[in-house]
Amino acid sequence: MPEEIRVLSPIAILGYGINEESLRRGMAMNPSMIGVDSGSTDSGASYLGAGAMYQSRKSMKRDLGLCLAAARSAKIPLIVGSAGLAGSRPHVAWLIDILEELAREQEQRFKLAIIRSDQQKPYLERALADGRVKPFIGVAPLTQEAITACGPIVAQMGTSPYVAALEAGADVIIAGRSCDSAIFGSFAIWKGYDRGVALHMGKILECAAMSAMPPTGRDPVLATLREGSILLEAPNPDRAVTPRSVSSHMVYEVEHPFLQEEPEGQLDFSAVEFEPVKDGRATLIRGTRFHRRNVATHRFEGAARRGFVSFMIGATRDPGLIAQIDAFCVGTEQQVRELEGAEQDFHIDWKLYGRDAVLGPSEPLRGRTDLHELGILAQVLAPTQERAHDVAALLEARMIGFAYPGALTRTAHIAFPFAPLVTDGGGCYHFSIMHIVEVEKHDDLLDLFPIEYRSIGAVHG
Amino acid sequence: MAETTHVPLRDLVTFLFSKNAGPYLVTFDILFRSRDAYQKAKKSGVFTAETFARLYKVPLEKVVSVYEYDAADMIKFTMIRDVSSSDFGDRSVFGAQQWAPLLDLPVPV
């Protein structure tokens, strides 16, 4: 029977701002490792596509520094997965750079494992040709054209590379794109725990105290594993983990409440039981099942650029214009299209804030015209930033000058709050690859997710 | 026989929540205030794919699933987004704030 282990998740995403007092309380509970899920596809495709960073270096350094100091002083592993949100090469490199700076400042010595998740197009092309690629619900089947047009591609690693790094004696692991569950669960699997319990724990821990009441991603939770059970509690006494808080969190951001696909198989929560313990402050979870798959599958994520955007934000306080705003949008766009002549290489998108910008066609009140004020976001998509900017500038001028029936003003129809009026938004990215790839039986997972070891601080044994 | 009354869904819930389930789906968590409210909601027959398709004015096939989740007194449904997260024209990168049409859904109790 494996020894009891305690896994601490200090924060939902590294860089959100760790609560230091809660971290101290968590460390006082004697954790066996610290894990942080640093990533998500939730914030859109531009972080992967353009290699952009989600957090500032300052906030990332603060949180990583707190975790590093805590883990090194307790001599326990620190595992950070999905580094820098997207987990691709520039994100991992950025986090390593910050970590090395912190190690110098804190005078720490440790063995670092770096696990990468960047994928090559030929591998995916081969998988496509072999019929080993399936789309997620709502995603079009993968095509050769989509692979060709795609920018950076990553795959979500499972537990194998993490277990290999732990086995090699890594003190700190910085990994690229990962399954949330693997970041925490791999440690438990390495310690001999059942895969279902280990991965279930990881699923719950990845969002830190989002599983507590009141929920927050900025406070820690601690999971204690014993054979077949997970005890979940919040070190901060102002929060409690209740059966309701944790069961409702388990279905957060997923389509299916009971079944979740992992690289090595399927997690099954249909028989899970929740028991309140410690005077209702903690919850004991039992009954997780895991259905193992013969061949591993990995989620591949790739971002492609649609083009470049430029936009304006403005508003109208004219009831006459608000009543005919659709005609205004169509009319100004038409004038821009006439002026652009043969160059029709752009798209214009309107968001009318105050009417239906949030829900679009699903807005039940979209027909309302008795609004006293209406916010307008007009954005242009074009093949280059320069084209997007130029078309947006033309559109801005038409919005200011468009003559509409019953206008009480001769010009200056729109209140724009900024100058310059046009803002260049950079590349517009989408997830053109969001597919499940079955690995080949003979594939070495370490080819997909290679590990590099470094001795940080000084010569390491 | 007791007369059936209807209450708006907003009066029966602790949380109403929409969020991405990956960049192509938006998932809705309807967390009821009590076991009793949840049981009444389940029995009402209101929480169906047809209801959600009608409320959101989308074809039925865009509603990919509806689940009753007893462990949390929750009804959960998921729809395919018309624009994937952060693609041109997207209205909500996180899938946030899409739940307002549910507020006034009448539920017989």
What are the tens digits of pLDDT across the range A376-405?
999 999 999 999 999 999 999 999 999 999
* A308, A427 Cβ separation under 8 angstroms: yes
A448 in the same domain as A378: no
A19 in the same domain as A166: yes
Domain contains B54: yes
Which residue's structure tokens are 């869904």? Answer: B9
Residue A420's CATH number: 3.30.70.600
Tens of pLDDT, residues A404-461:
999 888 888 999 999 999 999 999 999 999 999 999 876 677 889 999 999 999 654 4
The predicted pLDDT at position A411 comes to: 84
Tens of pLDDT, residues A99-122:
999 999 999 999 999 999 999 999
Tens of pLDDT, residues A302-314:
999 999 999 999 9
A77 in the same domain as A200: yes
A51 in the same domain as A187: yes
Q: Domain range holding B11?
A: 6-85
In the DSSP assignment, the letter for residue A118 is: B
Q: How far is B73 from chain A, CA to nearest CA, in Å? A: 8
A317 in the same domain as A211: no
Q: Which of A453-457, B3-7, B33-37 has the lowest mean pLDDT?
A: B3-7
Here the tokens at position A68 are 């590093």
Domain contains A160: yes
A422 in the same domain as A445: no
CA distance A342 to A118: 41
The mean pLDDT value of chain A amounts to 95
Give every CB contact of residue A24 below 8 A, 6+ residues apart in sequence: none
CB-based contact, B91 to chain A, within 8 Å: yes
- Using DSSP, state whether A154 is helix, strand or coil: strand
Domain contains B62: yes
The predicted pLDDT at position B2 comes to: 61
Query: What sign does the CA torsion over A417, A418, A419, A421 have?
Result: negative
The answer for B 19-48 residues in CB contact with A (under 8 A) is: 19-25, 27, 29, 31
Tens of pLDDT, residues A251-300:
988 999 999 999 999 999 999 999 999 999 999 999 999 999 989 999 99
Predicted confidence band of residue A336 (pLDDT cuts 50, 70, 90) = very high
Domain contains A223: yes
Q: How many domains does chain B have?
A: 1
CA distance A326 to A337: 17
The predicted pLDDT at position A281 comes to: 97
Residues above pLDDT 90, as percent of chain A: 91
The predicted pLDDT at position B9 comes to: 98
Here the tokens at position A421 are 């009026």
A449 in the same domain as A349: no
A105 in the same domain as A37: yes
Domain contains B70: yes
Here the tokens at position A400 are 């200011």
Return the biggest CA–CA distance within chain A.
Answer: 82
Q: Which of A124-128, A131-135, A421-425, A439-443 has the lowest mean pLDDT?
A: A439-443
Report CA-CA distances (Å) from A254 to A124, A344, B62: 25, 40, 16
Which of A42, A309, A429 has the CB atom closest to B20's CB atom?
A: A42
The predicted pLDDT at position A65 comes to: 98
A177 in the same domain as A71: yes
CA distance A16 to A18: 7
The answer for A 366-385 residues in CB contact with B (under 8 A) is: 379, 381
Cross-chain residue pair A44–B56, CB shorter than 8 Å:
no
Residue B61's CATH number: 3.30.70
Q: Domain range holding A326?
A: 305-431
Tens of pLDDT, residues A159-174:
999 999 999 999 999 9
Domain contains A140: no
CA distance A178 to A83: 9
Cross-chain residue pair B29–A251, CB shorter than 8 Å:
yes
Domain contains A364: yes
Tens of pLDDT, residues A32-76:
999 999 888 889 999 999 999 999 999 999 999 999 999 999 999
- Residue A88, judged by CB atoms within 10 A of its CB (0-12, 13-18, 19+), counts as buried
The answer for A 188-217 residues in CB contact with B (under 8 A) is: none
Give the CA count within 13 Å in the CB-facing half-sphere of B12. 27
A394 in the same domain as A367: yes
CB-based contact, B66 to chain A, within 8 Å: no
Q: How many domains does chain A have?
A: 2
Domain contains B1: no
- Using DSSP, state whether A80 is helix, strand or coil: strand
Cross-chain residue pair B84–A430, CB shorter than 8 Å:
yes
CB-based contact, A139 to chain B, within 8 Å: yes
Cis peptide before A405 (omega within 30 of 0): no
ipTM (interface predicted TM): 0.95
Domain contains B80: yes
Query: What sign does the CA torsion over A86, A87, A89, A93 have?
Result: positive
pTM score, two decimals?
A: 0.95
Q: Which residue of A has its CA nearest to B82?
A: A138
A328 in the same domain as A217: no
Domain contains B51: yes
A355 in the same domain as A232: no
CA distance A309 to A380: 5
Q: Which residue of B has its CA nearest to A359?
A: B98
Cross-chain residue pair B82–A360, CB shorter than 8 Å:
yes
- Using DSSP, state whether A66 is helix, strand or coil: helix
Domain contains B101: no
Domain contains A417: yes
Domain contains B34: yes
The predicted pLDDT at position A38 comes to: 85
Give every CB contact of residue A144 below 8 A, 6+ residues apart in sequence: A125, A128
DSSP states of A215-284: --SSS-EEEEEETTEEEEE-SSTT-B--HHHHHHHHTTT-S-SSEEEETTEEEE-TT-EEEEETTTTEEE
